[in-house]
């Protein structure tokens, strides 16, 4: 029987799954909607997990990499041997709670779950877990400092009153700015305003339909829950910033300041021994800054703005974006945690070379 291992990147807007065989050969990739049940609910999360897994299996079948293309992983032709799930929900509901949910949905008895920072740290500092600051900017945002057994966190307070500099935060500010322009509470930027309306397929003759377009739950390529639909407009703002739009550029400049503040905060707290002592101390330790998430692609507006704001930070040895994605790293961890360290390394090397 063929044994399959899976890594899941369980996000607030998107779920990704990568399958590997027991030798560390990538089989197939699947992508679906959100699976962080804190925000989308367990029913929707379960649907997206199953859909993501089936899409990954379909790609593996289409590539001729499964022994019986007509079979399903539950019929005995091949088995889902181990899963590792990376999820921001772990720190709200403990890892076992989230792992149990994935185990129930997938039927895989050997399911582990940890913070979404673990694959980023692994991907950015391999072959060793060297001291690093890892910053994620997707739908949500969080920054961690990791060195040995020390673990310092900044941001990541969720969409209600945190996650500054993330997709939801930028999207919310973009919608707020467009609504203020519509009311003439802000000077009109016709390019920015029209682009936001067009993104949601709203006519300028009926701008208040924007609220309905954002709130509706629809499978129209924008998002199937409100949080995802708000975050999605960041793609439009990103494009405008690339084209030199001033309004969009200001939004990303503020996002970079927010991300930079989190980086500086964990550095200031890096030498603290008492978590309730808020006095900044300089440990003198140097860190690599590892960036991950949809907003931190190389040369993106947020990446460039962040590099500018941190250019004089003396405690950073460099800024890197791993060539291996979080879900690819998660699949490698699934192998590693099941005693297949050589296969785990092969999967990482294979992806680096692809």
153 and 197 belong to one structural domain: yes
Give residue 179's pLDDT.
Answer: 96
Question: Would you call 31 helix, strand, or coil by DSSP?
Answer: strand
Give residue 97's pLDDT.
Answer: 76
312 and 210 belong to one structural domain: yes
255 and 280 belong to one structural domain: yes
Q: What distances in angstroms separate CA 88 from CA 10, 36, 92, 346, one per listed residue?
A: 8, 8, 8, 27
Q: Which two tokens stand for residue 336?
A: 């590693």
CATH number, domain of 12, equals 3.30.420.40
48 and 127 belong to one structural domain: no
67 and 128 belong to one structural domain: no
343 and 304 belong to one structural domain: no
- How does pLDDT run across 103-135, given as a tens digit for each residue? 899 988 889 888 888 888 888 887 667 889 999
pLDDT tier, 180 (very low <50, low <70, confident <90, very high otherwise): very high
121 and 89 belong to one structural domain: no
Give the range of the structural domain holding residue 339, as residue numbers without chain letter. 2-115+324-353
Is pLDDT above 90 for 310? yes
Number of domains in the chain: 2
81 and 122 belong to one structural domain: no
**What is the phi/psi pair of residue 146, to 5°?**
-130, 125
Q: Which two tokens stand for residue 125?
A: 């500092």
**What is the phi/psi pair of residue 235, to 5°?**
-60, -40
87 and 154 belong to one structural domain: no
Contacting residues for 244 by C-beta, under 8 A, at least 6 apart: none
Average pLDDT of the chain? Answer: 86
- pTM, two decimals, is 0.73
74 and 220 belong to one structural domain: no
228 and 248 belong to one structural domain: yes
88 and 135 belong to one structural domain: no
The four Cα atoms 82, 86, 89, 90 give a dihedral, to 10 degrees, of: 70
- How does pLDDT run across 335-352, given as a tens digit for each residue? 988 999 899 989 988 765
Is pLDDT above 60 for 25? yes
């Amino acid at each position: 029987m063929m044994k399959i291992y899976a890594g899941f990147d369980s996000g607030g807007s998107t779920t990704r799954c990568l399958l590997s065989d027991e030798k560390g050969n990538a089989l197939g990739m699947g992508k679906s909607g959100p699976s962080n049940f804190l925000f989308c609910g367990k029913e929707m999360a379960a649907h997206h997990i199953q859909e993501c897994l089936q899409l990954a299996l379909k790609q593996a079948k289409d590539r001729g990499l499964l022994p019986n293309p007509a079979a399903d992983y539950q019929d005995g032709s091949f088995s889902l041997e181990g899963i590792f799930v990376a999820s921001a929900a772990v720190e709200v509901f403990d890892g076992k709670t989230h792992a149990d949910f994935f185990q129930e949905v997938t039927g895989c008895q050997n399911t582990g779950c940890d913070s979404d920072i673990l694959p980023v740290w692994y991907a950015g500092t391999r072959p060793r877990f060297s001291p690093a600051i890892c910053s994620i900017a997707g739908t949500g945002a969080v920054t961690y400092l990791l060195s040995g057994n020390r673990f310092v966190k900044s941001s990541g307070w969720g969409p209600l009153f945190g996650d500054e500099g993330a997709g939801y935060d930028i999207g919310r500010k973009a919608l707020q700015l467009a609504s203020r322009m519509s009311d003439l509470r802000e000077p009109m930027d016709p390019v920015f305003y029209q682009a936001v309306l067009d993104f949601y397929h709203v006519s300028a003759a009926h701008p208040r339909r924007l609220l309905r377009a954002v709130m509706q739950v629809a499978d129209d390529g924008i998002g199937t829950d409100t949080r995802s639909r708000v975050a999605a407009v960041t793609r439009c703002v990103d494009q405008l910033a690339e084209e030199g739009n001033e309004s969009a550029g200001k939004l990303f400049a503020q996002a970079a300041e927010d991300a930079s503040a989190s980086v500086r905060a964990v550095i200031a707290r890096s030498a603290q021994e008492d978590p309730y002592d808020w006095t900044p101390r300089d440990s003198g330790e140097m860190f690599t800054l590892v960036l991950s998430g949809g907003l931190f692609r190389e040369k993106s507006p947020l990446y460039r703005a962040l590099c500018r704001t941190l250019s004089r930070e003396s405690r950073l040895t460099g800024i890197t974006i791993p060539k291996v994605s979080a879900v690819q790293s998660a699949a490698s961890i699934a192998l590693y945690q099941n005693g297949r360290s050589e296969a785990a390394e092969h999967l990482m090397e294979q992806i680096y070379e692809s």
